[in-house]
Structure 1
Amino acid sequence: MSTATVQHRAFIVLLILVTLAFFALLAPFFGAVLWAGIFAIIFMPLQNRIQAKMPHSPTLASLCTLAICIVVAIIPLTAITLSLVHEGTSLYQRIQSGELDFGAYLDRLREAAPRVEALLGRIGVDFAEVREGLKSVATTSSKALARNAVNIGQLSVSFLIGFAIMLYVLFFLLRDGNRLARQIRDAIPLSEAHKQRLFRKFGEVVRATIKGNVLVALIQGALGGLIFWILGIQGALLWGALMAILSLLPAVGAALIWLPVAVYFLLTGSIWQGVVLVIFGVGPIGLADNLLRPRLVGQQTQLPDYLILVTTLGGLALMGISGFVIGPLIAALFIAVWDLSLNEFSDRRPPAPETAPAAADERSDGQAAG
């Protein structure tokens, strides 16, 4: 083995070790860096426009974009999060005091529609178990929200550090994002054609995930929370947040929240509330996905629904709330790399021999003559 080969392999090992150590240092603030990258991708077109108007002041342009990002996105999201956990705390306190009992809603449903209990019994479902399970889930969920509310309300040191790091990293990603992207692209040991195809495919799916899935989910959640508030349903903000989360799962959707509530209204005599909720759910909430997603993204850039579902659930299980974004992004990279691999192998596949059809024709002609 030559000295040059040994040095090359030693350098590769050193590069891998240093890279792993670097990502290990970033691991405690993975969420802050991830969301800084997400906001940078969303607001990069605005940054490019502002930068074009002040080409000699990239720092000032980035500060302007960062200020717009804080006002338009970060402050509203922070306010909604604080309101959400405060509402969860109130919900937990009302459940603990007995003021709010989800089991009572089931009892009222059983009184209004006795056939529901009989139908559940036929399929092997015990109504009492459903009642206790619903109460347990409500208590556990509200308790988790209450615990997070205490952490966020006290503005813990880790929360403040993570928030500051996100803003700090976001500023430099906005200012130097294009240059960093070019450096990363130049560092990837692939041909220029492969890099162009890989980055184009990955960029399309990144925009589809952020602009399409996340934005449409936020719109559906906002519409759901609005109609719940209009109908006087308690915890409208909390239910809207749940609908937004479920909207990220194509096989589930926001209907898992509003449809049971509409059925409950219809069965318990609140006819007009049930009808309004069904019309609003099928109309604005249901059509938001079909009307907005093609305009925001385009059908050709979307991941299959089943892949979004599986990767979103997997990302949620591994990474918490950030998994809603990082899961589909990993799937996008997976598809981009394999698409590149398939094209590579198809280009190298030897062409089929052209003499085989001619030989077959000659054999068939000889058999016919014989």
Structure 2
Amino acid sequence: MSDRPDPKAWLVGHPGLTALALLSSLLVLFVLLPYLQFALLGVVLAYVLSPVQERAEEYLRPTFAAIAVVAAALFFVLIPAIYLLTIAIQQSLRVVSAVRNGQIDIGSIEELLARTGYQFDLVVLYEANQERIATGLQQVTSGAIDLVGSLPGLFIGLTITLFVLFALLRDGEAFVAWIQWVLPIDEAVSDELREGLDQLMWASVVGNVAVAAIQAALLGVGLAIAGLPAVVFLTVATFVLTLLPLVGSFGVWVPAATYLVGVGRPTAAVAIAVYGLIVTFSDTYFRPALIGRTGAFNATTIVIGIFGGLAVFGAVGLFIGPVVLGGAKLVLDAFARGHTGQQSA
């Protein structure tokens, strides 16, 4: 049983200190806002790499272990990711150019559909929407360029990410303990919230990203064997689309198969379609195997959390958004349970 005084009575009895604490917290939030997504990226990386830190501390002091893990994350995660993203952007620009120059043979696709009994005037449809397709691709590419194009801002942001990562790896447990000590809630409730957030982070960050990475790697290998151009761009696109609900790798292998038909390679198109279906349906195995550890997630939380997280937090919102929604439910459940003394339905 906690020996703390009643939180409500204490806060009401010390209005000045309570107001100062709230003001300080608000100022900290304003300081963090300009680089919030980079700070959150550091939190995500620290959560993922904390088991590595624990293993490294068996051989090194915490500070040196944290330095080694941060250096490994920089050279084996962040720099390769930036390099792959740069290649993907370059290849996507070539795809935009190919679409605008009309290099895809839509007539071959139309003939294949006609043999199966479907009559579409795809040439007219493609020509009417050619500019829209190219503009859409270019907007996505421009967004990625804007993300990595501002080198000074990117350098400052990644520096913040690395420092947050280092601090959390070295002193993460002490920081979490400090938060539990500072928050005016019962210790049993804070332990319950910590366990629930750990499960949410596992599902959103580790499980979801692992599923997307596996499917992207599998489809990327298939696309490379089939001789598709811009394989790096398509693989990165598969990774991103697999993170999004209701889209998945369909958004890549269907256009890829269509392209192969358009360039006169129907056999390769059928092979990619079959292989793409296998990769897509592998989701039904990988996702329960990796995310089945928690039942706190549901389709609504994932959909709203991912798209809302993207809008509020940027790219890192893919992982943080569902955690924020799931965490809010945990907090509200704890609040209602403390207020009513009843478990949630």
TM-score range, shorter chain: 0.7 to 0.9
* Structure 2: tracts of 5 or more residues without a match: 1-9
Q: Please report how far the alpha carbon of residue 149 of structure 1 lies from its aligned counterpart in structure 2 after TM superposition.
A: 4.1
* Structure 1: tracts of 5 or more residues without a match: 350-370
Deviation sequence 1:59-109 (CA, Å, 0-9, x none): 11111111222233222212211211222233344555x2xx27x444442
Q: Please report how far the alpha carbon of residue 286 of structure 1 lies from its aligned counterpart in structure 2 after TM superposition.
A: 2.4
Work out the CA distance in 1 between the residues paired with 2:230 and 2:330. 41
Corresponding residue to 1:169 among 150, 154, 164: 164
Work out the CA distance in 1 between the residues paired with 2:206 and 2:183. 27
Q: Secondary structure at the match of 1:18?
A: helix
What residue in structure 2 maps to residue 110 of structure 1? 110
Kindly report which structure 2 residues correspond to 1:174-193, keeping only aligned pairs within 5 A, or say none. 174-193=169-188
**Structure 2 residue identity aligned to 1:137:** I
What residue in structure 2 maps to residue 76 of structure 1? 80
Work out the CA distance in 2 between the residues paired with 1:193 and 1:185. 10
Deviation sequence 1:21-80 (CA, Å, 0-9, x none): 1111111111211111111000001111211333xx221111111122223322221221
Q: Please report how far the alpha carbon of residue 313 of structure 1 lies from its aligned counterpart in structure 2 after TM superposition.
A: 1.5
Deviation sequence 1:245-272 (CA, Å, 0-9, x none): 2212232221132134436656986342
Work out the CA distance in 2 between the residues paired with 1:106 and 1:277. 18
Asked if 1:215 corresponds to 2:210, the answer is: yes
Asked if 1:32 corresponds to 2:34, the answer is: no
Work out the CA distance in 1 between the residues paired with 2:81 and 2:99. 27
Distance change >3 Å, CA 334–CA 39, structure 1 → 2: same
Corresponding residue to 1:286 among 274, 280, 285: 280
- C-alpha contact (below 8 Å) 1:33/1:166 kept by paired residues: yes
- C-alpha contact (below 8 Å) 1:239/1:257 kept by paired residues: yes
Distance change >3 Å, CA 263–CA 150, structure 1 → 2: closer
Work out the CA distance in 1 between the residues paired with 2:116 and 2:306. 33
What residue in structure 2 maps to residue 355 of structure 1? none
Distance change >3 Å, CA 302–CA 76, structure 1 → 2: farther
Distance change >3 Å, CA 324–CA 147, structure 1 → 2: closer
**Structure 2 residue identity aligned to 1:67:** A
- Structure 1 vs Structure 2 CA RMSD: 3.1
Work out the CA distance in 1 between the residues paired with 2:173 and 2:16. 31
Q: Percent identity, aligned pairs only?
A: 25
**Structure 1 residue identity aligned to 2:77:** A
**Structure 2 residue identity aligned to 1:60:** F
Q: Please report how far the alpha carbon of residue 13 of structure 1 lies from its aligned counterpart in structure 2 after TM superposition.
A: 2.3
Work out the CA distance in 2 between the residues paired with 1:95 and 1:263. 13
Distance change >3 Å, CA 320–CA 131, structure 1 → 2: farther
What residue in structure 1 maps to residue 52 of structure 2? 46
**Structure 1 residue identity aligned to 2:19:** V
Work out the CA distance in 1 between the residues paired with 2:336 and 2:11. 30
Kindly report which structure 2 residues correspond to 1:1-370, keeping only aligned pairs within 5 A, or say none. 8-54=14-60, 57-95=61-99, 98=101, 101=102, 104-114=104-114, 128=124, 131-142=127-138, 144-145=140-141, 148-149=144-145, 152=148, 156-262=151-257, 265=260, 270-283=265-278, 285-301=279-295, 303-341=297-335, 343-344=337-338, 347-348=341-342
Q: Please report how far the alpha carbon of residue 146 of structure 1 lies from its aligned counterpart in structure 2 after TM superposition.
A: 5.2
Greater shift in the superposed pair: 59-68 or 290-299 = 290-299
Q: How many residues align?
A: 334
Work out the CA distance in 2 between the residues paired with 1:303 and 1:151. 29
Deviation sequence 1:156-178 (CA, Å, 0-9, x none): 21111112221122111111111
Work out the CA distance in 2 between the residues paired with 1:119 and 1:309. 36
Q: Secondary structure at the match of 1:138?
A: helix
- C-alpha contact (below 8 Å) 1:110/1:117 kept by paired residues: no
**Structure 1 residue identity aligned to 2:75:** V
- C-alpha contact (below 8 Å) 1:91/1:142 kept by paired residues: no
- C-alpha contact (below 8 Å) 1:210/1:325 kept by paired residues: yes
Higher relative contact order (CA 8 A, sep 6+): 2
Work out the CA distance in 2 between the residues paired with 1:321 and 1:150. 12
Work out the CA distance in 2 between the residues paired with 1:58 and 1:320. 31
**Structure 2 residue identity aligned to 1:211:** V
